[in-house]
Chains A and B, each alone.
Chain A
Amino acid sequence: MRELLGAGFIILGIPFFIASTLGLLRFPDVYARLHALTKADNVGLGLICLGLAVQANSIAVALKIVLIWGLILLASSTGATLIASSALRHGSAPRRRSDKDTHADR
């Protein structure tokens, strides 16, 4: 039962990773790509960690897996903020809605 539940969570998490990878490859600028990566990866990783924690043999292992998820949340959100604010200061401005969509014809 727990095996099945864990596998279900993990399978549920995989599409988020695929979607965020697609976003990383296809989105037009730094900010949109960050958005795709951090948001989707956090949910996907959360589901996969949940699946692994459900399958774990002891409460201690399960808590450690959840702790890993929390640490990655902290690190990835801080990293995303750093990349975004650094790009805002030194790099390109975010695309506005009025900008011509250069990817429309692809």
Chain B
Amino acid sequence: MLIVDLLLALAALVTAGQCLLLPGLFRAVANLMAFGLVMALIWVRLEAPDVALAEAAIGAGITGALLLTAAGQLPASQRTLQSMASGATRWKIFIFVMVVLITGSLWMTVLALPKPGLVAEVAVVLPDSGAEHAVTAILLNLRGIDTLLEVAVMLCAVAAIWSLQKAIPPPALGDAYPGLPTLARWLHPLFLLTFSYFLWQGTHAPGGAFPAAAVLGAGGVLLLLTGSIVWMHQGAYNLLLRWLLAAGLLFFLATALSGLLMTGTLYGLPPRFASTFIIAIEVATALSIALMLMTFYLFGRPGRRL
């Protein structure tokens, strides 16, 4: 297996290098997607299948397709990156020093971590956390504030995309490419099944809100791009869309505050209700994240401005 690990590490380095060094935006994006897939395989080798799934779906799939669309919208003159070979030696030295500094400080942090990790501490509080699986307990209860901020970052990304331009309606594919809308519609039940499975699995095994949302979001993006979801583009549903997008974050925040009221600490979920809270937060955040991933593919602000 050492050979497989070495090949994976080599492939990650090669795709990352090609992404940075080869000229042309298209090549860079294609290599970035390949890099995401290699990273997903590396996560599988590290026995973190939930991270692998999120990396493959979000890192390679959703980000890659967004970047491809952005590259396609650029005028042809801007699609080749300008090389910074001439007169940039000072910058190169600066960048080199920065890379060494950041790598060094990251390495120092890794060395300073407690050696056996926090596994024992987590195992002690696991019965009170409301989840049977340590990762879910950490994500949604013990370090819930981190997850809350991650969802907030994604909401900010939606706001940034909406502030750039108006939404681009999907092209009418029906006559030219009849296979794609049919495939998207036929496969969607399977996406829903996988989503529910990951959510249910999250309480006792690797899985949970983020991988589930990645799967549902991917299926939704497929439907959206083939023009099967019309309501997201209509002004009448704009307010509803905004509330649905914010719902996961608001619900998360409400549980955090109710924890403050009931136990005196922010996020202190009382152990008796913790498992109910965790399931509710998981469903709400997963649905909101899936909707946010789909909203990225409106490529802008839908409908009329309210």
Measured CB to CB, the residues of A under 8 A from B are: 71, 74-75, 78, 81-82, 85-86, 89
What are 10 sample pairs from A and B whose C-beta atoms fall under 8 A apart?
A71-B190, A74-B183, A74-B187, A75-B183, A78-B183, A81-B177, A81-B179, A82-B179, A85-B176, A86-B177
Question: Which A residues are in CB contact (< 8 Å) with B176?
Answer: 85, 89
Total inter-chain residue pairs, C-beta < 8 Å? 17
**Structural contact, B180 and A82, CB atoms closer than 8 A:** yes
Extra pairs beyond A71-B190, A89-B176 (11, CB < 8 Å): A74-B187, A75-B183, A78-B179, A78-B180, A78-B183, A81-B177, A81-B179, A82-B177, A82-B180, A85-B176, A86-B177
CB distance from A21 to the nearest CB of B (A): 15
- Chain A residues with CB below 8 A from B190, complex form: 71
Nearest CB of A to B40, in Å: 15
Q: How far is the CB of A64 from chain B (nearest CB, A)?
A: 11
Q: Which residue of B lies closest to A88 (CB)?
A: B176
- Total B residues in contact with A, Cβ cutoff 8 Å: 7
Partner of A85, one of B177, B183, B187: B177
The CA-CA distance from A89 to B183 in the complex, in Å, is 21
Say how far B250's CB is from chain A's closest CB, in angstroms: 36
Residues of A within 8 A of B187 (CB): 71, 74
Binding site for A on B (CB under 8 A): 176-177, 179-180, 183, 187, 190
In angstroms, Cα B177 to Cα A72, docked, is 19
What's the Cα separation between A86 and B179 when bound, in Å? 13
- In the assembled complex, the Cα of A63 lies from the Cα of B198 at a distance in Å of 19
Closest residue to B184 on the A side, CB-wise?
A: A78
| A103 vs B177: C-alpha distance when bound (angstroms) | 32
When chains A and B are docked, how far (Å) is the Cα of A63 from the Cα of B190? 15
Contact residues in A for B180 (Cβ distance below 8 Å): 78, 82
Contacts of B179 on A, CB cut-off 8 Å? 78, 81-82
A80: nearest residue on chain B (CB-CB)? B179
Smallest Cβ-Cβ distance to A81: which chain B residue: B179
Residues of B within 8 A of A74 (CB): 183, 187
Q: Which 3 A-B pairs have the closest CB atoms?
A: A78-B179, A78-B183, A81-B179
Closest chain A CB from B185 CB (angstroms) = 12
Chain B residue at smallest Cβ distance from A74 = B183
Contacts of A85 in B (CB 8 A): 176-177
Contact residues in A for B183 (Cβ distance below 8 Å) = 74-75, 78
Bound complex: CA A86 to CA B171 (Å): 13
**CB neighbours of A82 from chain B (8 A):** 177, 179-180
Q: List residues of chain B with CB within 8 A of the CB of A81.
A: 177, 179
